[in-house]
Chains A and B, each alone.
Chain A
Amino acid sequence: MKKLLILLLFVSCTQTIYEDTPITEIPESLFIQEPKGLKLESYIVEDKVRINTKLPQDGNYRIKIIDFTNTIVNQEIIKGKEGDNLLNIYVNSLPISSYTVELYTINNEFIGKQSFSMK
Chain B
Amino acid sequence: MKGPLCDELVLAIYPTPRGFAYALFEAPLSPVDWGTREFLGKDKNARTLGAIARLCKAARPETLVIEDGVTASSKRSQRVQRLLGLIGAMAEVEDISLVRYSRKTIRETFHHPAITRQEIAQAIATYIPALSDRLPPMRKLWQSEDPRLWIFDAASLALTHFARVTDDEPP
Chain B associates with chain A:
no
